[in-house]
Structure 1
Amino acid sequence: MATTHHTQTLWPYGIVAAIILFAGYIIFFVTKAMRQDVDLVSKDYYAQEIAYQDQINKVRRTAAVGDVDVDYQPGKQAILMQLPAGFRGQKINGTISFFRPSDETLDVEVPLQLGRDQSQQVSIEALKPGHWRVRVNFSANQQAYFAENSITIQ
């Protein structure tokens, strides 16, 4: 009497199990990704776009009148900010902002107080050495203007 041995291989079960585990893995990450909150567009996108266009207009308006010079004077620990001659005789209000890209807590803002020659000297002794952006925001004759320069304080 011959007995037949039925040896069953486990390969088909292993392959099916691997496919099920892989599908479960994919489903887990897809559901995790779907629940992730991604804000590519801000809630007030339209208002920000208008503000950005206003900023572009300010820069263009300033460039049309002339360059705002920001001269770093390391010996005096000061900057000399000079408005273009086209602003002579106009009432000008505004601010000079020292913006530190690496640390916003170091940012400083001073009021614009121009002399007769349309210039202002600002002490920078309190500013730490490094890269700074000097932003001049001002208005004259109900028109807004803006200029930005970079300096490196040593």
Structure 2
Amino acid sequence: MPIRTSPAPKRTRWPYAIVAAFVLFASFIGYLVQQAMRTSVELVSPDYYQQELTYQQRMETVARTAALPAPVQIEPDAATRRLRLQLPAAMAGQPVAGTIHLFRPSDQRLDFSLPLRPSTALQQQVSTAKMPAGYWRVRLDFTAGGQAYCVERTITLPD
């Protein structure tokens, strides 16, 4: 009697494909975790929480600034590479003191502040020649006649 041999069972590739898919998925998740750990997460300012406590006072100064008879003008001039600040004429004759804050939202290391020293015409110009082109936020905090004022504008410096 002849011996019957059954054919060898066909090997399927499905178990290997499933294992390979799990390994690839785990590698991808590991890569995403590694990239997330390397990303720098910075607050806009180091004393962010202290600034949050003074938020109500800031809102009052912003409302007072909005109620001025003429707006505070903050305009970049691409031709001269300067930022021109113009205070309202209603503040003429009053002692004005304050600070100009320039923020670069994409890079905290570029942030800086300057003292506000307007001329008798209530103007001040700030050179933007050394500032990188792009999006900037300008905040002007000042006092005039014993009242605090605050104005914030966004500007885009050209190349």
Query: Aligned to 1:150, what secondary structure does the other structure show?
Result: strand
Is 1:144 the equivalent of 2:148? yes
Deviation readout 1:57-80 (Å, 9 max, x if unpaired):
010111111311011100100011
**TM-score, length-normalised on structure 1?**
0.67
The correspondence for 2:117, drawn from 94, 113, 116, is 113
Aligned length: 109
Amino acid at match of 2:118: L
Measure the CA separation in 1 of the matches of 2:104 and 2:71.
22
Once the two structures are TM-superposed, the CA of residue 145 in structure 1 deviates from its matched residue by 0.5
Is 1:51 the equivalent of 2:42? no
Distance 1:48 1:123, change over 3 A: closer
Amino acid at match of 2:58: Q
Query: Aligned to 1:61, what secondary structure does the other structure show?
Result: helix
Structure 2 unaligned blocks of 5 or more: 1-49
Over 6 Å off, 4+ runs: none
Question: How well do the aligned residues superpose, as a CA RMSD in angstroms?
Answer: 1.7
Query: Aligned to 1:75, what secondary structure does the other structure show?
Result: coil
Structure 1 unaligned blocks of 5 or more: 1-46
**TM-score, length-normalised on structure 2?**
0.65
Query: Aligned to 1:89, what secondary structure does the other structure show?
Result: coil
Once the two structures are TM-superposed, the CA of residue 138 in structure 1 deviates from its matched residue by 0.3
Q: Which has the larger radius of gyration?
A: 1
Amino acid at match of 1:116: T
Percent identity for Structure 1 against Structure 2: 42
